[in-house]
Amino acid sequence: MKKLIFSIVLVVIILVMPVFGGGGRQSGAAAGKKTVSFALWDEVQYPVFEEICKKFTQETGIEVDLQLTPWSQYWTKLDAAATAGNAADVFWMNIFLPKYADAGVIEPVDSYFTRDGLDKSAWSPAMLNLYTYKNRLYTMPKGMDVVVVAYNKAIFDKYGVSYPAEGWTWQDLERIGAQLRDKIQAAGGSEYPLLMELDPQPSYLQFWLQDGVVPYTASGTSGNIGRPEARKAFDDILKLMDQRILPNFTILSDTKGTDLFLSGRGAMLYVGSWKSSVLDSASFASQIGLVPMPSRGVSNVCALGGISYALNSRAADKESAWRLIKFLGDETSNRLQAEARIEIPAYLKAQPSYIPSFQNIDPTAFIKQSAVSTVYPSHPKMFDWDGLQTELVTEIFNRTKSSGQALQELAAEVDALMKQ
């Protein structure tokens, strides 16, 4: 087992342990009861998991110490707790799985699936693939997320522009955006034709894949990051800014694209399905339409992301922890999450419960987009270059570096880290 090495100072570890650690096991032992600690990062989903965990306790007698840590602190605290041997028994995992698998933090669950006779065909194949690493299934799939385009029908109607339709292309997006821009300007309006959040998943990562660009590969190369075709995604976004179809980077960095859209300031928005409940609760939700992403050079393929449940390899009571994971991954628990509009369930039989749970928007586009998907690109060391990637992408959008220069620098760093 490889040794986990993280540069976390001792004081941080001490502070983290009670928040993200296995403290629940100690309290449970003192009370004479079994307790499993379970860590997650989303406050929106927390109430749903409180309900699910209560049902688990009622059925099994095993208490659950549910630990909420915001996304901005989650990974730092997980690293520190894992180093100290006090990570939660069960914790949420995403595409960063290879790092934690290689470090021996996560116990593979494929043997548990086999032992308990769980049929893997009950879960989305794409999600099983996402969490299979070195031919081992490491985690239990929870849900999956995709990116689509939301549009405000009221703004389109106001300016007499036709709605985007399934099967559209990037050229159609530019044409519709230009029509909106011109009519908004002529009427003295202030709405933006198009909005994005310029993080990888809701924007340029999708465009890379749709252009046939593989950013990096599991075999240990940076793939096409430094190649000319990788620049197109960024150059096209900058072009939209120049054409005043998309706001400039200062505006998009000051206020999230989703927030601008929800305030009625945008006609279209690239948006992840993880925002579905927010869209459904918007003041103008009945006026929100959803459509799969437009096709670019190759297709409108989507990098399918999602969350899964990981079993701590150092959990004191792995059987109880696995019982919780199996409970979280079953049809009943997935239906509860689907009905709460949490995300598209990875458990296939629970997916029909997702669409009827919405009161205002039609989420069918999420399901359609998930059918045109590929596994989200990941690598054991991607966490190591994440900060530099964010910095260089910011320089591209701030126009302090060209896309070619920035991506060449990123490719060189990625190659160097992969060779270590």
For 275-292, how does the pLDDT look when each residue is reduced to its tens digit (9 = 90+)? 998 999 999 999 999 999
Does residue 217 fall inside a structural domain? yes
CB 325 within 8 Å of CB 91? no
Residue 371 has a pLDDT of 86
Instruction: Indicate which CATH number applies to the domain containing 187.
Output: 3.40.190.10
Task: Compute the Cα dihedral for 35, 38, 43, 48 and give only its sign.
Answer: negative
Q: Rounded CA gap, 211 and 227, in Å?
A: 12
- Which residues have C-beta within 8 Å of that of residue 160, sequence separation ≥ 6? 183
DSSP element (H, E) containing 385: helix 382-398
The reply to whether 175 and 235 lie within a common domain is yes
Residues 283 and 246 in one domain: yes
Query: For 198-353, where are the E strands, in sequence order?
Result: 266-272, 288-292, 302-312, 344-345
Q: Give the range with max mean pLDDT: 5-9, 191-195, 302-306, 344-348.
A: 191-195
Do 133 and 157 lie in one domain? The reply is no
- Would residue 3 count as lying in a domain? no
Distance in angstroms (rounded) separating the CA atoms of residues 414 and 209:
18
Q: Which sign does the torsion angle of CA 27, 29, 32, 37 carry?
A: positive
Residue 100, both tokens: 């934690």
Model confidence band, residue 8 (pLDDT cutoffs 50, 70, 90) = very low
Task: Report the alpha-carbon distance of residue 326 to residue 141 in Å, rounded.
Answer: 10
Closest CA to 325 of 103, 133, 129, 108: 108
Report percent pLDDT > 90 for the chain: 71
Are residues 255 and 121 part of one domain? no
The separation between CA 209 and the C-alpha centre of its own chain, rounded to angstroms, equals 16
Distance CA 132, CA 140 (A): 10
Residue 89 included in any domain: yes
Is the pLDDT at 28 greater than 80, yes or no?
no
Query: Do 293 and 332 fall within a single domain?
Result: no
User: Is 4 inside a domain boundary?
Assistant: no
CB 203 within 8 A of CB 181: no
Which pLDDT score is estimated for 21?
53
- Alpha carbon distance 190, 136 (integer Å): 52
Specify whether 86 is located in the same domain as 38. yes
For 37-88, how does the pLDDT look when each residue is reduced to its tens digit (9 = 90+)? Answer: 999 999 989 999 999 999 999 999 999 999 999 988 999 999 999 999 999 9
The reply to whether 322 and 392 lie within a common domain is no
Angle between helices 331-339 and 46-60 (to 10 degrees): 150
The domain boundary residue, chosen from 360, 390, 406: 360
* Interval 203-219: pLDDT, tens: 999 999 999 998 876 56
Q: What is the mean pLDDT of residues 380-403?
A: 91
DSSP helix/strand/coil, 35: strand
Residue 282 · residue 350 · CB < 8 Å:
no
* Residues 140 and 154 both lie in one domain: no
How many domains is the chain built from? 2
Q: Is the model's pLDDT at 25 over the cut of 50?
A: no
What pLDDT band is residue 29 in, cutting at 50, 70 and 90? very low
Cα separation, 368 vs 365, in Å, equals 5
165 Cβ contact list (under 8 Å, min separation 6): 291
DSSP state of 361: S
Look at the block and give the residue holding tokens 């044409």: 175
Q: What is the pLDDT of residue 32?
A: 63
Q: Which of 196, 213, 220 is nearest to 297 (CA)?
A: 213
Give the pairing of strands 35-40 and 90-93.
parallel
Q: What percent of the chain has pLDDT over 70?
A: 91
- Tell me, yes or no, whether 140 and 153 share the same domain: no
**Residues 35, 128: one domain?**
yes
Dig out the tokens for 242 from the structure.
Answer: 């120049």
Question: Mean per-residue pLDDT for 298-313?
Answer: 94
Reported confidence tier of residue 14, pLDDT bands at 50, 70, 90: very low
On whether residue 193 sits in a domain, the answer given is yes
Residue at 310 is within a domain:
yes
Q: Are residues 190 and 298 in the same domain?
A: yes
Looking at 37-124, list the stretches that DSSP marks H as alpha helix, in order from N- to C-terminal side. Answer: 46-60, 71-84, 97-102, 110-115
Dihedral pair phi/psi, residue 2, rounded to 5°: -70, 145
Position 278 in a domain: yes
Mean pLDDT of 170-192: 98
Q: Would you state the structure tokens that stand for residue 200, as one six-digit string?
A: 């990888």
**Which of 314, 334, 360 is the last residue in one of the domains?**
360
Half-sphere exposure of 72 (CA within 13 A, CB side): 0
Range of the domain at 187: 147-303+378-419
- As given in the structure block, the two tokens for residue 286 are 């009945």
Any domain includes 367: no
Looking at the structure, do residues 130 and 19 belong to the same domain, yes or no? yes
Of 333, 360, 387, the position where a domain reaches its end is 360
Sign of the alpha-carbon torsion through 347, 36, 113, 80: positive
Measure the CA–CA gap between 360 and 279, rounded to whole angstroms. 9
CA 396/CA 343 separation, integer angstroms: 32
Q: Which ranges of 116-163 does DSSP label H, i.e. alpha helix?
A: 125-130, 153-159
Place of tokens 């990888």: 200
Q: Which stretch of DSSP H or E encloses residue 414?
A: helix 403-419
